């Protein structure tokens, strides 16, 4: 056999999930995403309770914001980036769960 020739290989695919199974799987993914978002929120709240946030201040009764303030707080920048990613994942999972619930016939109107 020539080294660059390959024989076709048949791959067996898994059967597609039914609407009820897809609903249950999306429900577990939603619970996991909710837990991860809660953990990221706790980390963010703990950091904010221990460190005074100097990015915003009140001057003459008006709110003022420092320019390039996030560069002064690299740890807070990482914490908030992580929180935003978890929040985005939670929102995407929530949309998927809503669609799976509708497909399973369990949505209420």
pLDDT tens readout for residues 74-108:
898 899 999 999 999 999 999 999 999 999 888 77
End-to-end CA distance of the chain: 63
pTM above 0.95, yes or no: no
Instruction: Give me the residue spans of the domains in the chain.
Output: 20-103
Q: What number is the average pLDDT over the span 43-70?
A: 84
Q: What does the alpha-carbon distance between residue 102 and residue 27 come to, in Å, rounded to a whole number?
A: 13
Instruction: Tell me the HSE value of 64 on the side-chain side, using a 13 A CA sphere.
Output: 8
């Amino acid at each position: 056999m020539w080294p660059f020739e390959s024989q076709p290989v048949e791959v067996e695919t898994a059967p597609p999930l039914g609407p009820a199974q897809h609903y249950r799987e999306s429900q577990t993914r939603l619970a996991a995403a909710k837990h991860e978002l809660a953990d990221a929120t706790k980390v963010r709240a703990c950091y904010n309770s221990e460190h005074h946030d100097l990015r915003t201040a009140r001057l003459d009764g008006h709110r003022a914001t420092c320019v390039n303030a996030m560069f002064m707080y690299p740890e807070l920048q990482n914490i908030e980036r992580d929180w935003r990613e978890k929040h985005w994942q939670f929102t995407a999972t929530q949309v998927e769960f809503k669609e799976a619930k509708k497909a399973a016939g369990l949505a209420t109107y």
